[in-house]
Structure 1
């Protein structure tokens, strides 16, 4: 009897891909691997997704895992015992190429930062 219960569990899988591939993936602030990847999941709902790659802008978004009709109360009691039943969720994300910062812009920002620091270091004068 135990073998029937253990062998009939529904396999739930989330597959995450990205263009370009190789992005580091975080689900609900937990690092899970690099795209493309597939991983098991237990709970349906909305997941926080973060993708990071050196050549792309970081992406913070969400992914939704909707339950199939057989996962609702009633049919789920039967579905849990059907051998080999799978629920596969697929999310694909397009990453935006990172914007190259020119050295001239960095120099200008550094100059403004030094000027602002110099202003903030000056004592406040009392005007009577």
Structure 2
């Protein structure tokens, strides 16, 4: 009787686990929008899509996002994508094995600021470039150092030892 109960329990557990491997999972989706829409989204150096966008992802963490649109300032932000508590250890073990599909949506909105005429004016851009170059050249590690010359050294000659000869 005890063995029969153990076998039934094992069959139930294997059915749940086997069914969950076929049916259950967590679908992760990142949804990004911008105001105005149509901005190009780049994450960790890879172009993703234009907003509004929806993309599946596998890994939680922090993404270096860049959002660009003509006529607007480029927005560079670190976008956190944090796992919900039900996907933290040890709860994630149960969640991943449930025989249902669970959706995890992360929504991100980027508000773009329009560029001013002064920012895009060629003369203003040249002047800002000069200012930045001056800041770079005045840094402690970027100052141009005069080349150092080494004093000439006299070539020294080494005394050569004659090999000893054997006299017999």
TM range, normalised to the smaller chain?
0.7 to 0.9
Q: Secondary structure at the match of 1:80?
A: helix
Q: Distance in 2 between matches of 1:15 and 1:106?
A: 37
Inter-CA distance 79–59: structure 2 relative to 1 (3 Å threshold) = same
Alignment match, 2:25: 9
How many residues were matched structurally?
111
CA RMSD for the aligned pairs?
Answer: 2.5
Higher percent of residues as strand: 1
Alignment match, 1:59: 75
Provide structure 2 residue ranges, at least 5 long, that are not aligned to the other structure. 1-14, 130-168
Q: Normalised by the size of structure 1, how large is the TM-score?
A: 0.75
Superimposed CA distance per residue, residues 35-59 of structure 1 (whole angstroms, 9 cap, x where no aligned partner): 0101111111111100010121111
Provide structure 1 residue ranges, at least 5 long, that are not aligned to the other structure. 114-128
Higher percent of residues as helix: 2
Alignment match, 2:113: 96
Superimposed CA distance per residue, residues 82-125 of structure 1 (whole angstroms, 9 cap, x where no aligned partner): 3120111111010010222499x5357779x9xxxxxxxxxxxx
- Structure with more contact order per residue of length (Cα contacts < 8 Å, sep ≥ 6): 1
Q: Distance in 2 between matches of 1:73 and 1:81?
A: 13
Larger radius of gyration: 2
